[in-house]
Amino acid sequence: MPEAEPPTIEALAEALAAGEEDRAAALIPELHPADLAALAGTLDEETWKPFFSALDQETLAEVFEYLAASDAEKALEQLPQTRQQEILEELSDDELVDLLQEVPSPKQEQYLALLSDSKEAVSRRLLRFSETSAGGRMTTAFATLHEDMTISEAIEALSEISESTEILSRIFVVDERHRLLGKVLLRDLTFNPRSTLIKEVMDDDTLAIDSLADQEEAANMIARYDMVALPVVDREARLLGVVTHDDAIEILAEESTEDIEKFSAIAGTHGEEGYLQTPVPMHFRRRFFWILPLALLAILSGVVIYNYEHVLNQVYLLVIYLPMVVAAGGNTGSQSATTVIRAMALGEFTPAAVVRVVWKELRIGLLLGGLLGLCVALVVQFFMPHFIEVPPEVSLRNVAMTVGLSLTGQVTSSTLLGAVLPILARSVHLDPALVASPAITTLVDVTGLVIYLGLAKALLGI
Amino acid sequence: MPEAEPPTIEALAEALAAGEEDRAAALIPELHPADLAALAGTLDEETWKPFFSALDQETLAEVFEYLAASDAEKALEQLPQTRQQEILEELSDDELVDLLQEVPSPKQEQYLALLSDSKEAVSRRLLRFSETSAGGRMTTAFATLHEDMTISEAIEALSEISESTEILSRIFVVDERHRLLGKVLLRDLTFNPRSTLIKEVMDDDTLAIDSLADQEEAANMIARYDMVALPVVDREARLLGVVTHDDAIEILAEESTEDIEKFSAIAGTHGEEGYLQTPVPMHFRRRFFWILPLALLAILSGVVIYNYEHVLNQVYLLVIYLPMVVAAGGNTGSQSATTVIRAMALGEFTPAAVVRVVWKELRIGLLLGGLLGLCVALVVQFFMPHFIEVPPEVSLRNVAMTVGLSLTGQVTSSTLLGAVLPILARSVHLDPALVASPAITTLVDVTGLVIYLGLAKALLGI
């Protein structure tokens, strides 16, 4: 018997690409549904269909739990109605609602009609929440008990749903109006005498989130309090659902990606689709949004240089260090903007700390600018003359001083601006990341040019 | 009776700042230990001490579970030895080891000596792992059972540790050599007859991570497979500990911050301390590392402009659009670099997909460059002459064409370079983020200048 191939996602991808259906079918049962779902996200048109046909109904249902909503929709469309029905019915309600939110209205109604009455009702209720709210992210897979039950009654009530692991890690105690009173752990039921009342073993922790709150707030609470599941309540404190730790990881990853993208002048929200799945026009739109205004803004820098024509005409050598002064300001400005924005995003300080931040960045900026100015001035004075001839009428020492001092001034002011602008933005409830790197870079370019060319004029006596 | 103050962290911070110890003491029991720990991280020297004195031993122990290691060490140092001992003994082993890793050797030995023998032995074992490995992040708080036990025997074995909620969500089945065979859920013990054998109810899932693997790999597995706890094993598949979902969130947040920082030319690793706690010299070092080489690299751009003196001398007007062409390349290059690097970090594709990525970025680059070039050429031709006088010997149409075409060329090539360089870096096992935005920006500045000034020379017949 030949040795079995080690079951890896790469091997499966190869088998699918080569059209070897038997080999693919042998590998699939050995792989985790999460890995299969991730693979689906990277497949192209030709291998997509054979892959999904090779999955049996049970595996397919498991894979659907991990698929991005857009991939799930694409996969669902290719299935016959009976298989669609089974998949939709088995899907956990939060994943189901994600998928339904993705599809156009008529299709949504068609899928809803396939569901059992109870599942349809839950889905319609969940669909009313915004996709990005805590309510839009929650699942209704949880169990409730009442205070006056005994453990034995509770276990009997729960045993009907004992098949669902998920639910049993989320047992809440509610009053007659379904308001959250606390939670019970399965271990409290397992390791206490059966006649004990629930109210004696329950934990009266009612930490919860409003269903209309932003999903990011829910994720931050889960992260902050190390929770496995965060209860979601309505305005009357009635328990509606839970947001779980795995959703928190997903939400935080999406938010981090969006932050990183904003720092790189990419606009809009990051969809659930991966890079390869996102169509070119969508990539284009998100990038072009910032590129045109930033380009027009950069003409300002050009106009400044244009207006200093007489300075550059007299000492054209100055042009050599011009891009550097400009770039150093942009780089240090975006460093401090990034640091400050990220610290605010992680809740490390609020705009009230602005004085402490300014004092800190002022010292950092002076250190950075001072040392950089000194290093570069030495390079200009002693190293560069080996490569670039200095006209005899130009004082090399004064050029070196101009470069060094303007670097110090430019870096210090950029560092301060980079820190202060995001705090200002935040204090007037704008997204600090909107004023981040590229916009700040373009702005400080102008200050850099004015400092450098103005200083040159003064020091070189032009 | 006056109405009680709403218990918020802000109110407590105010009370501490105002030195109102009674008001602070009244607020503390109402607040979550995680919030108290977060507050500790933002306190200055004067309020630090009264805050920790106001916490009773039990609250203090809870707060320690959430404190950053550096804050924990600072707080511990101020306590008398008996209180130190109680805190250290109660601390979960992963938090304890984080703290011990933070302190200098003699202090570490001193703290280890305060521990009970068993806790000391576990700590010394965990301290042997690198801080950034799965082993360095794991906790040994888990329970093990054997296949041949009955549920009744298992419950008896577990009832001794039933006080620890954490442990009971991590029950593993091991063989006589402590190798991982699978896991058991508490619900399997609760809802099955007591005479059932463990092997009949266990789940034989042995998904685990090697103790020497990087912590990021562990976090990615937890995220990918929606796990609450990931088993950590040695080379012989023996179970050593677990990494938990809350660690995964922390690790992923640290990694995202580091990625964001690398994109902004900030070097090194992001410590556990917040922005305000990190001393100025540390901020300075992490920023200066990149600023000097980037500045020296930017001199290259200057030398290129210097060498095109005759072009700018003849049509000085060209200087107006020079910063824009350069900036557009930098911005689009960093957009594509960011997108590609983030997608690789999230495991969306591997370097093998390079052809598909290049094809995608080529189309995006041509679209971006083409449309941007067209828009700006129109601005140059019809809008700018209202503000800047064009010398009669210069063909405005040719200037507009030069600007438009060089934007198209520069944006397309930068978009491609921004995508390809990180993939190349990754394929030779360099960190793709190292070649990210600032370095790429500085490089594409040079290509932009050459394209722009070269094209100007040709089109304007200089």
Chain A residue with minimal CA distance to B355?
A276
The distance of A106 to chain B (nearest Cα, Å) reads 31
| CA atoms of B399 and B453, how far apart (whole Å) | 11
User: Confidence class of residue A272 from pLDDT cuts 50, 70 and 90?
Assistant: low
Neighbours of A266 (CB within 10 A): 25
| CA atoms of B299 and B401, how far apart (whole Å) | 28
| CA atoms of B364 and A288, how far apart (whole Å) | 10
Encoded amino acid at B333, one letter = G
Encoded amino acid at B103, one letter = V
Contact A264 B263 (CB under 8 A): yes
Classify domain B143-254 by CATH number.
3.10.580.10
**DSSP letter string over B333-352?**
HHHHHHHHHHHHHTTS--GG
Contact A224 B376 (CB under 8 A): no
User: Distance of CA A364 to CAs A416, B44, B304, Å?
Assistant: 9, 19, 32
- In chain B the first and final C-alpha atoms are separated, in Å, by 88
CB A230 within 8 A of CB A186: no
Q: Chain A interface, mutation test: which of B31, B32, B39, B249, most A Cβ atoms within 10 Å?
A: B249
Chain B residue with minimal CA distance to A359?
B280
Mean per-residue pLDDT for A179-205? 90
* Residue with token string 């922790």: A205
User: Confidence class of residue A2 from pLDDT cuts 50, 70 and 90?
Assistant: very low
User: Confidence class of residue B188 from pLDDT cuts 50, 70 and 90?
Assistant: confident
The 10 Å CB-count burial string (b at 16+, else e) for A327-347 is: bbbbbbbbbbbbbbbbbbbbe
pLDDT digits (tens, 9 = 90+) for B258-296: 888 877 777 777 666 778 878 899 899 989 988 998 898
User: Confidence class of residue B50 from pLDDT cuts 50, 70 and 90?
Assistant: confident
List of chain A residues whose C-beta atoms are within 8 Å of the C-beta of residue B334: 264-265, 438
User: Confidence class of residue A154 from pLDDT cuts 50, 70 and 90?
Assistant: very high
The 10 Å CB-count burial string (b at 16+, else e) for B294-312 is: bbebbbbbbbbbbebeebb
Query: A381 pLDDT exceeds 70?
Result: yes
Residue B204 makes CB contacts below 8 A (sequence gap 6+) with: B181, B182
Name the percent of chain B lying above pLDDT 90: 44
Question: Which of A298, A320, A309, A223 shows the shortest CA–CA distance to B322?
Answer: A298
Contact B306 A319 (CB under 8 A): yes
Identify the sign of the CA torsion A169, A175, A178, A179.
negative
Contact A252 B257 (CB under 8 A): no
| CA atoms of A42 and A46, how far apart (whole Å) | 12
User: Distance of CA A146 to CAs A141, A202, B219, Å?
Assistant: 17, 10, 37
CB B311 within 8 A of CB B453: yes
- In chain A the first and final C-alpha atoms are separated, in Å, by 88
CB B7 within 8 A of CB B27: yes
CATH 1.10.357.20 range(s) for chain B read 280-459
Name the percent of chain B lying above pLDDT 70: 96
pLDDT (0 to 100) of residue B2: 47
Q: How many CB pairs under 8 A join A and B?
A: 351
Query: A43 pLDDT exceeds 90?
Result: no
Question: Which of B30, B22, B29 shows the shortest CA–CA distance to B6?
Answer: B30
User: Distance of CA B445 to CAs A324, B411, B413, Å?
Assistant: 11, 11, 11
Question: Which of B52, B44, B12 shows the shortest CA–CA distance to B28?
Answer: B12
The mean pLDDT of chain A is: 88
The tokens describing A443, both together, are 């702005």
Encoded amino acid at B314, one letter = Q
CATH entry 1.10.357.20 includes domain A280-459: yes
Query: B38 pLDDT exceeds 90?
Result: no
CATH 1.25.60.10 range(s) for chain B read 9-129
Question: Which of A352, A349, A347, A125 shows the shortest CA–CA distance to A216?
Answer: A347
pLDDT (0 to 100) of residue A385: 87
For B:423-452, CB contacts with A below 8 A are: 437-438, 441-442, 445
The total number of residues shown for chain A amounts to 462
Contact A225 B34 (CB under 8 A): yes
| CA atoms of A306 and A320, how far apart (whole Å) | 16
| CA atoms of B136 and B79, how far apart (whole Å) | 27
Q: Name which residue leads in pLDDT, A440 or A60.
A: A60
CB B355 within 8 A of CB A283: no
User: Distance of CA B315 to CAs A150, B402, B425, B456, Å?
Assistant: 91, 12, 40, 9
| CA atoms of B156 and B158, how far apart (whole Å) | 5
Encoded amino acid at A51, one letter = F
SS3 for B356? helix
Residue B409 makes CB contacts below 8 A (sequence gap 6+) with: B369, B451, B455
Kindly calculate the radius of gyration of chain B based on its CA atoms and give it in whole angstroms: 31
CB B145 within 8 A of CB B163: no
Query: B1 pLDDT exceeds 50?
Result: no
The 10 Å CB-count burial string (b at 16+, else e) for B51-85 is: bbebbeeeebbbbbbbbbbbbbbbbbeebeeeebb
Mean per-residue pLDDT for B377-386? 92
CATH 3.10.580.10 range(s) for chain A read 143-254
Instruction: Return the CATH number of A9-129, one of 1.10.20.60, 2.40.50.140, 1.25.60.10, 1.25.40.80.
Output: 1.25.60.10
pLDDT (0 to 100) of residue A367: 96
Question: Which of A293, A442, A294, A298 shows the shortest CA–CA distance to B324?
Answer: A298
ipTM of the complex: 0.81
Query: Rounded to 5, what percent of chain B is helix, strand, coil?
Result: 65, 5, 25
pLDDT (0 to 100) of residue A368: 95
The mean pLDDT of chain B is: 88
* Residue with token string 């018997």: A1
Say which range, B102-116, B424-438, B440-454, has the weakest mean pLDDT. B424-438
SS3 for A92? coil
Report residue A307: phi and psi, to 5°. -75, -15
List of chain B residues whose C-beta atoms are within 8 Å of the C-beta of residue A248: 249
pLDDT digits (tens, 9 = 90+) for A225-252: 989 899 999 999 999 999 999 999 999 9
List of chain B residues whose C-beta atoms are within 8 Å of the C-beta of residue A302: 319-324
Say which range, A157-161, B149-153, B303-307, B424-428, has the weakest mean pLDDT. A157-161
For B:106-145, CB contacts with A below 8 A are: none
* Beta strands at A171-174 and A143-145: parallel, antiparallel or unpaired: parallel
Identify the sign of the CA torsion B354, B359, B360, B361.
positive
pLDDT (0 to 100) of residue B135: 95
Query: Which residue from A328, A353, A438 is facing B295, i.e. has the nearest CB?
Result: A328
| CA atoms of B349 and B344, how far apart (whole Å) | 6
Plot region of A429 (φ>0 → left; ψ -120 to 50 → alpha; else → beta): left
| CA atoms of B338 and B358, how far apart (whole Å) | 15
Say which range, A192-201, A223-232, A385-394, has the weakest mean pLDDT. A385-394
Mean per-residue pLDDT for A446-453? 90
Plot region of A269 (φ>0 → left; ψ -120 to 50 → alpha; else → beta): beta
* DSSP code at position A193: -
Mean per-residue pLDDT for B35-55? 84
CB A232 within 8 A of CB A135: yes
User: Confidence class of residue A159 from pLDDT cuts 50, 70 and 90?
Assistant: confident
User: Distance of CA A134 to CAs A302, A429, B93, B365, Å?
Assistant: 48, 21, 33, 37
Question: Which of A162, A203, A212, A208 shows the shortest CA–CA distance to A185?
Answer: A203
User: Confidence class of residue B451 from pLDDT cuts 50, 70 and 90?
Assistant: very high
Query: Which residue from B260, B275, B306 is facing A260, i.e. has the nearest CB?
Result: B260
Considering only the C-alpha atoms of chain B, give the largest distance between any 2 of them, rounded to a whole number of Å. 101
Strands (DSSP E) along A42-107, which ranges? none
C-alpha dihedral (B371, B372, B373, B379), degrees to nearest 10: 110
Partners of residue B182 on adjacent β-strands:
B173
Question: Which of B234, B248, B89 shows the shortest CA–CA distance to B174?
Answer: B234
Strands (DSSP E) along A146-228, which ranges? 171-174, 180-184, 209-210
* DSSP code at position B362: H
**DSSP letter string over B253-264?**
HHHHHHHHHHHT
User: Confidence class of residue A398 from pLDDT cuts 50, 70 and 90?
Assistant: very high
CB B171 within 8 A of CB B186: yes
pLDDT digits (tens, 9 = 90+) for A72-129: 988 888 888 988 999 999 898 888 998 998 888 899 999 999 999 999 999 999 999 9
List of chain B residues whose C-beta atoms are within 8 Å of the C-beta of residue A295: 324, 327-328, 331, 372, 376, 407
